[in-house]
């Protein structure tokens, strides 16, 4: 799988995006200050924001949105197929699945808890929020409509099973779904993945088609990412020209919330599991896996870090290779705790920024989508971006809001990938330890390295 965010020559893409952020933010701030003094300048800035900056930003967003449904469908079905080894692998697989769910839910719960506690997006002054919503009026009206018809938790859960998956696919993008939109599509994809696992002999052709769809969608997202530096500059100009310094302070609070959440999972939840489930001293564990941690931080890619993780698991942690190979390979895609936490926080943060009140049912939807997105996100730099766009659309928060966070994404990507990879190693340590306690238990041939 290629990196979403690779460029062939010149500056690395993430540096270009950062430059885009700075150029957009600084020019927007200057425009904001000057426009406050001169109505003529204010008109010109408003015109440029609506007719030049925003359309360019929208091209980027549309390129991403157009492939999100096939991307999610193929990624999740293939992901389950990989996890399908779970069935073949019996106990090891089930334990992996169990620990993955515990780790993913705890990280999403931490993220959502913090964002509800600190409300980083709510700090925006009400008049600025009104301005922002006026700019994205069409989406805001949709949000109100959706909030008015918000469903009970029971119906939200029932609607996880789509009656008509195609209708949900269409509705996931244009907001007309009858059920849960993207979440229902995700559940449908999981079911297709399970069915593929059970009929391996006759479905090889379909698996290849799904792999092809996945590769093509990733390539198109790669095209979109090449536009990202310009789109970020434009979208950020539009937002800062209107909102001034307030939005940047809000952004800082967001970064702080994400980092605190990642820190809690890394230095509180993981050590607890290490002590009680894996029986390893946390300090020793972190020292032994430091090479994988630094690789993850430097590459922002779980996939690229996999060889290093496999090595430290074998040479440093001395885990059983037959267990750690399986757990780490599956975990690189399926157990992305940092990504799940980040996706949950981003969506609730942007809902706060735009003043969209999410019902309990919608918050449950965000939690489930964040956990599933942790499974469906490719382990490459910026892998979460398409999934965030679609979760935003599901809960009717303007997808343009992604511009507010994408400029700082690389830094947060480095940190969340570090958590993703450390989480995989914690998972491997826990599963190995539990296996060790049952000596003589057979390991299926399919995982023997
Ligand atoms: N970069 C992350 C990873 O490879 C995925 C993401 O959250 O964007 O683990």
Q: What percent of the chain has pLDDT over 70?
A: 87
Name the residue with higher pLDDT: 264 or 362: 264
Ligand 1: atom nearest CA of 417 is 9
Q: Which two tokens stand for residue 369?
A: 């989508």
Give the model's pLDDT for residue 1: 37
- Separation of CA 139 and ligand 1 centre (Å): 28
Band the pLDDT of 268: cuts 50, 70, 90. Answer: very high
**pLDDT given for residue 218 in this prediction:** 83
Is any atom of ligand 1 closer than 6 Å to the C-beta of 410? no
CB distance 120 to ligand 1 below 6 Å: no
pLDDT band at 211 (very low <50, low <70, confident <90, very high): very high
> For the whole model, what pTM was predicted?
0.76
Give the whole-angstrom CA distance, residue 426 versus residue 259: 19
Helix (H, G, I), strand (E, B) or coil at 134: helix
The Cα–Cα gap between 192 and 33 comes to: 54
From the CB of 382, is ligand 1 less than 6 Å away? Answer: yes
Kindly state the average pLDDT of the residues 322-346: 85
What is 12-447's CATH topology? 1.10.3860
Ligand 1 mean position to 25 CA, how many Å? 25
Q: Are 296 and 302 a contacting pair, CB within 8 Å? A: yes
Q: Are 365 and 146 in contact (CB under 8 A)?
A: no
Instruction: Please tell me the distance from the alpha carbon of residue 353 to that of residue 125, in angstroms, as a whole number.
Output: 10
Mean pLDDT computed over 83-93: 64
Q: Which atom of ligand 1 is nearest to the CA of 301?
A: 4
CA-CA distance, 335 to 427, in Å (whole number)?
9
Higher pLDDT, 232 or 138: 232
Pocket flag, ligand 1, residue 242 (CB < 6 Å): no
Atom of ligand 1 nearest to the CA of 304: 4
The response to whether residue 417 sits with its C-beta less than 6 Å from ligand 1 reads: yes
Cβ neighbors of 107 (< 8 A, separation 6 or more) are: 261, 265, 269, 337, 338, 340, 341, 419, 423
Residue whose tokens read 């956990």: 371
* Ligand 1 midpoint to CA 46 (Å): 36
Q: What is the DSSP string of 267-318?
A: IIIHHHHIIIII---HHHHHHHTHHHHHHHHHH--HHHHHHHHHHIIIIIS-
Provide the terminal-to-terminal Cα distance of the chain, rounded to the nearest Å. 23
Q: What is the pLDDT of residue 3?
A: 46
**According to the model, what pLDDT value does residue 442 have?**
46
Per-residue pLDDT tens digits for 66-81: 888 888 888 878 877 8
Q: SS3 for 324-368, per residue?
A: HHHHHHHHHHHCCHHHHHHHHHHHHHHHHHCCCCCCHHHHHHHHH
Nearest ligand 1 atom, CA 303: 4
Summarize the confidence of residues 52-60 as an average pLDDT.
83
Quote the pLDDT of residue 63: 84
pLDDT, average across residues 170-182: 71
Which pLDDT score is estimated for 262? 97
pLDDT (average), residues 246-275: 93
Helix/strand/coil for 431: helix
The C-alpha atoms of residue 296 and residue 355 are separated, in whole angstroms, by 35
Spatial distance between the Cα atoms of 281 and 53, rounded to a whole number of angstroms = 52
Residue 148 clears pLDDT 50, i.e. is over it: no
Mean pLDDT for the chain? 81
Is 381 near ligand 1, meaning CB less than 6 Å away?
A: yes
Residue 299 Cβ inside 6 Å of ligand 1? The answer reads: no
pLDDT given at position 68: 80
- Share above pLDDT 90 across residues of the chain, in percent, rounded to a whole number: 22
**Looking at ligand 1, which atom is closest to the CA of residue 383?**
8
State pLDDT tens for residues 227-248.
Answer: 888 888 888 888 788 778 878 8
pLDDT, tens digit (0-9, with 9 covering 90-100), for 96-133? 888 888 899 999 999 999 999 999 988 777 777 777 77
Cα atoms found within 13 Å of the Cα of residue 444, Cβ hemisphere only: 13
């Amino acid at each position: 799988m290629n990196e979403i965010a690779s460029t062939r020559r010149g500056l690395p893409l993430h540096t270009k995006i950062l430059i885009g952020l700075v150029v957009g933010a600084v020019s927007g701030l200057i425009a904001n200050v000057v426009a406050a003094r001169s109505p003529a300048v204010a008109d010109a800035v408003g015109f440029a924001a609506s007719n030049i900056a925003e359309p360019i930003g929208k091209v980027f967003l549309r390129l991403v949105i157009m492939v999100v449904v096939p991307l999610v469908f193929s990624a999740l079905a293939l992901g389950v197929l990989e996890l399908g080894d779970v069935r073949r692998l019996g106990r090891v697989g089930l334990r992996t699945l169990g620990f993955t769910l515990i780790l993913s839910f705890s990280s999403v719960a931490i993220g959502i808890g913090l964002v509800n506690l600190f409300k980083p997006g709510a700090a925006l002054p009400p008049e600025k929020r009104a301005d922002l919503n006026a700019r994205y009026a069409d989406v805001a009206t949709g949000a109100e409509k959706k909030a008015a018809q918000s469903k009970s938790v029971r119906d939200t859960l029932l609607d996880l099973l789509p009656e008509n998956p195609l209708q949900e696919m269409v509705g996931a993008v244009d907001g007309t779904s009858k059920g849960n939109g993207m979440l229902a599509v995700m559940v449908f994809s999981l079911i297709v993945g399970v069915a593929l696992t059970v009929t391996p002999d006759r479905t090889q052709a379909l698996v290849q088609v799904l792999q092809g769809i996945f590769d093509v969608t990733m390539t198109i997202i790669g095209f979109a990412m090449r536009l990202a530096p310009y789109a970020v500059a434009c979208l950020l100009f539009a937002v800062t020209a209107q909102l001034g310094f307030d939005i940047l302070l809000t952004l800082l609070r967001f970064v702080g919330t994400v980092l605190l959440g990642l820190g809690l999972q890394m230095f509180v939840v993981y050590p607890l599991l290490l002590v009680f489930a894996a029986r390893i001293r946390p300090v020793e564990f972190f020292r032994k896996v430091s090479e994988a941690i630094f690789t993850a931080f430097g590459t922002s890619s779980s996939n690229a870090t996999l060889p290093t993780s496999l090595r430290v698991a074998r040479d440093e942690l001395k885990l059983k290779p037959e267990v750690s190979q399986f757990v780490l390979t599956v975990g690189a895609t399926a157990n992305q705790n940092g990504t799940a936490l980040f996706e949950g926080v981003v969506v609730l943060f942007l809902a706060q920024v735009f003043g969209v009140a999410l019902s309990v049912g919608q918050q449950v939807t965000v939690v489930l989508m964040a956990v599933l997105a942790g499974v469906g996100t490719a382990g490459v730099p910026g892998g979460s971006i398409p999934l965030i766009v679609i979760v935003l659309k599901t809960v009717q928060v303007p997808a343009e809001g992604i511009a507010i966070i994408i400029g700082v994404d690389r830094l947060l990507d480095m940190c969340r990938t570090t958590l993703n990879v450390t989480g995989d190693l914690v998972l491997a340590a826990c599963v190995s330890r539990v296996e060790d306690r049952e000596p003589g238990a057979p390991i299926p041939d399919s995982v023997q390295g």
